[in-house]
A and B are shown apart, each in its own frame.
Chain A
């Protein structure tokens, strides 16, 4: 395995620190830079940037406006790959929208939809497409395939890359009461290009842990170290925290601990 790039998300409120700081190999971009962001020129000049915006949900084909937006951002960032999520969060008629990542039903029909639409998007991009797994808090009875099997078939059909979000896998294992490493073993790890790692925190509505812009625990870093050994094509690990509440100390310390864990 080539040496891994270790990075974080670009948090604009930490722009000054990210311009000056050391130890960050890349920055993932969740939003386009704000027009008045004084740090953006230096950030762009200094860092490798990964496009990780919301482009659209691939249960439907992306429209021309969304594809052009993706192409423009990819060119602006000079991104080595473009990321999107396995998500289906708004209804076809636009009436209901969860405003939060939510997985599709793992069915043959949705597999065919995602394969078709991801293949079409991939053909319009000048960079490889990678797709990120999304956690489910509950199973939907209508799903026909286990998520890892559905993902394996998707990646085999599209030959896109896998952005493996480890806390998402860890959370699913937690709520299924199974060992995280055993749950992870079923995923198509040979397709992984990038890994996300972050902390989890107790959520009072869920009555258990969930994704949070927090530092990864030692347990999560151990899980990362294990996962990386199973991902021979991995090129990057990103500290997945994007929030105005995130401090520079927490970001730099997390990246440092990720590097040390690997």
Chain B
């Protein structure tokens, strides 16, 4: 095993609690198990503190009304119970930690009409952000533009989410982060948001349309552009424009035909 592979093994042991318990890791005897466990717990709390504070910043801004700060979950029994299963950066752990926050802050009761929508939105952001990512571009990386002959079958990127909300949250979010005395209100209006992540980990949100929803439902990595246009009832030009936007957001990628 190369030194780089050994380093990856240590990183994995710190990030992946079940692996830390495995016979494979323990047999390596690379480091003091107690020290590794303590540092892994420290890293887990740090990792999810940063994410909870970032992705639940709107709920955090409302804490003086709800009386519940999102990051409080990280020192509560629910998080301690999760520790043996935590895999830093995994979608499953992001989902579990986000659910702790949703339950905790949502338990404040109906003090803010759109609170449930807001928590779903923030949890979706945190979960979409999770998962492996590209940390550095290789020289072989190619442009994934629409229209390239090599790329022909659009595919929804795993983890991309369409959120159906009862309130128009995008109108209220910026207000929540500015000084306010009365709680800013969101219009009660059915709203669909697309939440996606680029391969480099940038999370983006956009209002969704019927065309976007149809494309995300149909883009399975097998249908050609012509088939998609037919099935979605779109002109090819409209389809390409919509796909271009979805690729930019990270919601869709192109599979090779081979």
A: which residues have CB within 8 A of B? 56-57, 59-66, 88-100, 102, 104-105, 107, 109-110, 113, 137-142, 203, 205-207, 210
Contact = CB atoms under 8 A, between A and B. Distances in A.
A86 to B, nearest CB: 12
How many interface residues does chain B have, given as a range?
A: 35 or more
A56 B136 contact: yes
11 contacts: A96-B8, A96-B12, A98-B88, A100-B47, A105-B3, A110-B3, A110-B7, A138-B35, A205-B41, A205-B42, A206-B42
A96 B89 contact: yes
A253 to B, nearest CB: 25
A138 B42 contact: no
A90 B135 contact: yes
A206 B38 contact: yes
B143 interface: no
Nearest to A64: B137
A96 B14 CA distance: 9
B47 A89 contact: no
A206 B43 CA distance: 10
Chain A interface main SS type: loop
A137 B35 contact: yes
Q: Which 8 A-B pairs have the closest CB atoms?
A: A138-B35, A109-B3, A205-B42, A96-B15, A205-B41, A63-B137, A91-B8, A63-B136
A96 B16 contact: yes
B32 interface: yes
B46 interface: yes
B47 A99 contact: yes
B10 interface: yes
Contact of B45 (A61, A62, A93, A205): A205
Contacts of B35: 137-138
Given A96-B88, A98-B88, A141 B137 contact: no
A210 B4 CA distance: 27
Contacts of B10: 105, 140
Contact of B30 (A90, A92, A109, A141): A141
Nearest to A111: B3
A99 B46 contact: yes
Contacts of B32: 138-139
Interface of B: 2-4, 6-8, 10-12, 14-16, 29-32, 35-36, 38-39, 41-43, 45-47, 50, 88-89, 132-138
A59 B30 contact: no
A255 B32 CA distance: 38
A105 B29 contact: no
A92 B132 contact: no
B174 to A, nearest CB: 10
A105 to B, nearest CB: 5
A138 B43 contact: no
A18 B89 CA distance: 35
Nearest to A108: B3
B2 A109 contact: yes
A142 B6 contact: yes
B132 A93 contact: yes
Nearest to B199: A94
A138 to B, nearest CB: 4
Given A56-B135, A98-B43, 11 more contacts: A63-B136, A102-B11, A137-B35, A137-B39, A138-B32, A138-B35, A140-B6, A140-B10, A141-B29, A141-B30, A206-B38
Contacts of B135: 56-57, 90, 94, 97
A92 B88 CA distance: 16
A64 B136 CA distance: 9
Given A110-B7, A138-B31, A206 B132 contact: no
